[in-house]
Amino acid sequence: MYKFNIIDKIAIILVIIGAINWGLIGLFNLDLVALLFGQTVGILSRIVYILIGAAGVALVMLITKMTQASKFK
């Protein structure tokens, strides 16, 4: 069984936040990140979007690691 490290846990949380944000954008045209951190061109909002994108990449790598680990069982 794979043990999640702190990076994995943070990545999961950020991807969930990103997914909720995209759902709100799609349903209500409400960008929660922009609402909380300023306009989408604001530096803080851009940092949040970059972190969420990096978390998505980290989860792809995590899924790859978990898939490879399960093949060797």
Quickly state the pLDDT bin for 53 (edges 50, 70, 90). Answer: very high
Interacting residues of 50 by C-beta distance below 8 A, sequence separation 6+? none
Q: Are residues 59 and 15 in contact, defined by beta-carbon separation less than 8 angstroms? A: yes
Mean pLDDT within 39-53: 82
Does this model's pTM top 0.85? My answer is no
Mean pLDDT within 35-59: 85
Mean pLDDT within 17-45: 86
Per-chain mean pLDDT for the chain: 88
Residue whose C-alpha is closest to residue 18's, from 39, 32, 38: 32
Interacting residues of 33 by C-beta distance below 8 A, sequence separation 6+? 21, 40, 45, 48, 49
